[in-house]
Structure 1
Amino acid sequence: MQPEFEVNGTAITEFVLLGLVETPGLRPVIFVIFLFAYLVTVGGNLSILTAILVEPKLHTPMYFFLGNLSVLDIGCITVTVPSMLGRLLSHRRAVPYGACLTQIFFFHLLVGVDCFLLTAMAYDRFLAICRPLTYSTHMSQTVQRILVAVSWACSFSNALTHTVAISTLDFCGPNVINHFYCDLPQLFQLSCSSTQLNELLLFGVGFMMAGTPTVLIFTSYVHVVAAVLRIRSAEGRKKAFSTCGSHLTVVAIFYGSGIFNYMRLGSLKLSDKDKAVGVFNTVINPMLNPIIYSLRNPDVQGALWRVLMGRRSLT
């Protein structure tokens, strides 16, 4: 895909990312903070993934999806943060046109898979609690792999659609993006051609990518809550709710920040609030997920402890 041209024939070959701060004295602080966040996120998610792989007790559908989610979290933060750190080190804020579109493609690919995986995890909880007798049949290894494969296929189609659509827009200048990574709302602001169709596409496809999973997750948990409330034992209800609490927390954070980010396309100027939401989407979410899933989960805590101590489970 080639960049569009200005009226005078000069090609737009790069965009300029202003980053999180424009004060030079604050850039070393930002670099240290985000490098630390990146290392913590990658380390935390790799620890979760390792625990799931080596701990037999965690070889269940729920943790299979959680392992895939950890891979996605590493991918999401890797798409944005290392390039930002590189620009801070080199003091260059320019990003080639092709690199900007590539970042958009991979960011939407990984976030899209995230949407579908969170839905698959809700479906898993629904089957485990509401259909325990047929759980092993309806959530077999084949079904798990099909759900993951379909998630990637749908998300790939979504990411490719948006990337091709944005490549058809004209960019006549200015080329300055008030953000620390490339995304659709920022490029819509810079385009000198109409973005109405692109925005309609984003809303329409976004409804299918986020709205449909949200409805399915909500429906699954309505049935889960109804089933849990029928459990007579208080301890049984507590255990059932604890297995769902972590997932619901991640869903709320993920969809809350995502909706805020993409529902503000009509605003005339992107503000620092958008940067804050961007940090939440690309850094905070992937960093919090391993903490959320291990905080109240004794199985994961025990597996992580055995991994760190170099021990294996006896079961």
Structure 2
Amino acid sequence: MSDTRSLPVPDGLEGDRLDAAIARMFGLSRTRAAEIITAGDVLLDGTEAGKSDRVQAGAWLQVTLPPPPSAPVPRAEAVPGMKIVHEDADIIVVDKPIGVVAHPTVGWTGPSVLEGLLASGVQLATSGAAERQGIVHRLDANTTGLMVVAKSEIAYSVLKRAFKERTVDKRYHTLVQGHPDPLRGTVDAPIGRHPAGDGRWAVVGDGRSSVTHYDTEEAFRAASLLEIKLETGRTHQIRVHMAALRHPCVGDMLYGADPTLAERLGVRRQWLHAVRLGFDHPTEGRPVEFSSPYPDDLAQAVEQLRED
């Protein structure tokens, strides 16, 4: 069922193109916003307008939004290479391989952690949306490493709160281009959708608060191995913040990495691994911590840099 919204153009969008303004106001990609405008589903002060028209603050918008796509239904499907690091009555900790998302999403046809666990007969918490049962945090498809999934309802509730309150210790290792200056620091910069509306995220003034701590573990001629501690968990946060420092993750072409260096090191995705995960057990209260070794492709890249 479509949804019609009527509201004025905010002052902060004065002079923006109509498609860019619609994208910002409703959290759409710019391409999707343009499609809605072209279909005649946007009125500006009561008349149809073109996607490149400039908007004025206070002008009245009437936008008919299409219904959201229906969420995919999880199916039990084995995930090769996914390892179970720990399991008890309340939680299961997995080491996620490359090319696997946390849960099914619209447009994704590959494997997911959720479906892999269902295939192995694991009973997960049913709180939250059906397509995300038990999932309390996520990793990008091509980011490997540790994820905790809730099996009991109380674990789901406690872990969701722990992630929200930033009491979970999430540590990542990433190989970035060049040498950050200073070698240890904090990036405190808000993240939102990239103005281009092409699926990227970026540091933007009206984005959500995002805090990343980094420390150089090892420096090489052309790159640095960093340990990252996240306070927040925004989409692509480490990748966006490293790119904002002009030290993108090696192999991360979406955010400006050098393809020549990636090719030389045999890296075909962003060099980013969730190496440690620590939190208070949701029912026992005791602190627990888990660690994950680098997968072969990332380990080989580091070894090559050391040899160089």
Q: TM-score, normalised by structure 2?
A: 0.28
In terms of fraction of residues, the more strand-rich structure is 2
Identify the structure with bigger relative contact order (alpha carbons < 8 Å, sequence gap 6+): 1
Q: TM-score, normalised by structure 1?
A: 0.28
